[in-house]
Structure 1
C-alpha cells in the first residue's frame, strides 16, 4: 500500500442554466401587469369623465338661431389671408364671411380626420379584449367622434358652406391609412390634430366677439377632445418605447407628412373661391403670410412639445415640420 495520501475530490459543480443573449430577454410578467394596470386606471378615469361631461350638440346648440353675416367665426388675425393685399381688397363683411368659410372648412377637415380616427379605433378594439376599460373607452371615444362629425356637418349646413368632402389628396391619404392599418400612427395623428384644433378653438371660446354658433361648436369640441388626447398620449408612449430604430425612422417621416397634410386641409381652395378670389393666388399669398405661419406654429406648439419630449421629433428630423410652418 502506498503511503502517499490521495487528495480529496471536490464535489461536482451543479449544472448552470444557459445564459440567453440580451436581445431575447422577455419583459417580466410583473412589468407587463403594471403596464396593463396603468392602462386600465387611465381608462377608468376617462370613462368617469365621459359619464359626467359628455354633450349632445343636437340638443345643446341652437341650430335655428340666425347666423349674423357680420360676425367673425375666427379672430381676424387667425384668418389665412389676414394682413395680405388680398385681405385689403375685401370689405369687412367679406372678411367676416371668409373667416366663417375658413372655420367651416376646418370642420370639414375635422370630419375627414375623425372618420379616419374612428376606423383606426374600431380596428384597435377588434384586435383587443372588449372586457377591458381600455377597449370600452375606445368605443366611448368613437361615440364622441360620431357626435362631433354630425355637429360639424350641421355647422357646415348652417353657414352655407357647400361641401364636407376633403381634397383629393387628403382622400387618397385617408384610404392609404385604411390599407396600412397603422394603429400607432392613428394615435400619433390624433394627438397632433386634436392638440392643433384644441389650441385654435380655445382661442375662439375665449373671444366673446365671435359668432355664437362657432363658439358653441368649439366649446363642445374642446371639452371632449381633452379626454381623447389623454387616451392617445400614454398609448403612443408605450408603442414608441417598443419600436425599433428603423421603424422609428420611417414613422417620423410618415407622421410629418400626415401632420402637414392635415394642416393644409383646414383651408380648402374653395374657401378662397367663395370669396371671389383666385384660389391659386390666394393660397400662395396665405403660404407667404407671416401671420398665418405664426397661427399654425402657435396651434401646433403643444403637440410638437410632446413629440419632442418623446423623441419623435429631434433636431435632426425637425426640417419637415419647419417646412410645413409647424415649427419656428
Structure 2
C-alpha cells in the first residue's frame, strides 16, 4: 500500500525522532535485581487484594510479581516477533526509500533489541520463561499468516498501549527491581514512536476500506485484543508457585481491582478505536468480557 501524500510528513518526523532519541541497548549496564524487590508494581498483579494475596507473606508476594512480570515480558517478546514477521512480509517488495518503509526498518531494529532486553531481564529476575497457552500460540500463527493492514497494526497497538500504561507505573516505582524499571523506561520512550506509527498506518488503511471490511476488522481486532489480555494470565505461574489454579482463577475472576487496572491499561486504546470508528456493539461486548471496557 502506497503512502498517502498527506501522511508522508508523519513518517519523516518519526524517523527524525528515532535519530534524536534512541538507546543502544547493547551498551546499557543493568545490575542484577535485588531479591527483596517486586517484579512489577504489586497493584498490577491479578491477585492483588484477593484473599490469597492477603494471606501471602511479603516475600511470597515479591516472588509472585517477579514470575508474573517475567510472563508479561515473554508475551511482549511474542508480540514483537509476530509484528516483525507480519510487517516485513507485507513490505518485502515495497519501495525501501519510502518514509514509512524506512521507519519500519528502524522499528524492527528497535523491536529486536527490545526482545533481547526483555529476555535479559527475565534471566536477571530468575523467574524463567512460561510457555504460552496453545490457544495463544495458534492465534499467533493465524495473525502472522493472515492478518491484513489495519488488523495487524491494531492488534499490536493493543499490546503496546496496555504495556505502555503498565510500564509507566513500573519504571517510577522504587519497590520494583531495577532491571524492570530500566527496561520499562527504555521501552516507554521508544514505543511512543512505534505507537504513533501504528496509529497513522491504521488511519491510512481505513481511508480506503468498505463498510463491510471495517465491520469485520473491528470484530477481529477485538478478538485479538481479548486473547492478548487473557493470555497475560498464565496458569503455569500459579501452579509453579504451589497454588491451586481453580481457586486462583476464581479469585482473579471476581477481583474488581484487577478489572479496574485492566480498564485503565486499555483506556488509551479504546479511545483511539472509538475515534477511528473501530468500535461497535459486538466489539464493545468483547472488550467488556475481557475486562477492558
TM class, shorter-length: over 0.9
Task: Tell me the distance in 1 between the aligned counterparts of 2:130 and 2:236.
Answer: 11
**CA root-mean-square deviation:** 1.8
Q: What is the 5 A alignment of 1:124-135?
A: 124-135=90-101
Q: Which of 146, 156, 161 matches 1:180?
A: 146
> Which of 157, 163, 171 is the matching residue for 2:137?
171
| Residue 270 (structure 2) pairs with residue 304 (structure 1) | yes
1:128, 1:165 → 2: CA distance?
A: 35
Of 101, 109, 114 in structure 2, the residue corresponding to residue 143 of structure 1 is 109
SS at match of 1:38: coil
Which residue is 2:28 aligned to? 60
Structure 1 residue 284, shift from structure 2 partner: 2.5
Find the counterpart in structure 2 of residue 198 from structure 1: 164
- 3-state DSSP of counterpart to 1:74: coil
| Map of 2:236 onto structure 1 | 270
Greater Rg over alpha carbons, structure: 1
8 Å CA contact retained: 2:67, 2:127 = yes
Q: Distance in 2 between matches of 1:96 and 1:198?
A: 22
Q: Aligned residue for 1:48?
A: 16
Which residue does 1:7 correspond to in 2? none
> Is the contact between residue 153 and residue 164 of structure 1 (CA under 8 Å) also seen in structure 2?
no
Aligned 8 A contact 1:260 1:324 in 2: yes
Q: Aligned pairs, how many?
A: 293
1:96 alignment counterpart = 62
Counterpart CA distance in 2 for 1:120 and 1:311 is 24
Aligned to 1:120: 86
Q: Extract unaligned runs of 5+ from structure 1.
A: 1-31
Give the distance between the partners of 1:256 and 1:317, measured in 2 at CA. 6
Paired residue secondary structure (2:233): coil
- TM-score between both structures, scaled by the size of structure 2: 0.94
Contact 2:149/2:205 (<8 A) preserved: no
Q: 1:209 offset after TM fit, Å?
A: 2.9
> Matched residues in 2 for 1:269 and 1:165: separation?
10
Alpha-carbon distance in structure 2 between the residues aligned to 1:193 and 1:120: 15
Please tell me whether residue 189 in structure 1 is matched to residue 155 in structure 2.
yes
Q: Deviations 1:225-273 (Å, cap 9, x if unpaired)?
A: 0000111111111212322122122212111111011112223222212
Comparing 277-286 with 196-205, greater Cα deviation is found at 277-286
Residue 70 (1) aligns with residue 68 (2): no
CA shift digits 1:268-299 (9 cap, x unpaired): 22221232212232122112211111110000
**Distance change >3 Å, CA 164–CA 43, structure 1 → 2:** farther
Q: Secondary structure at the match of 1:213?
A: helix
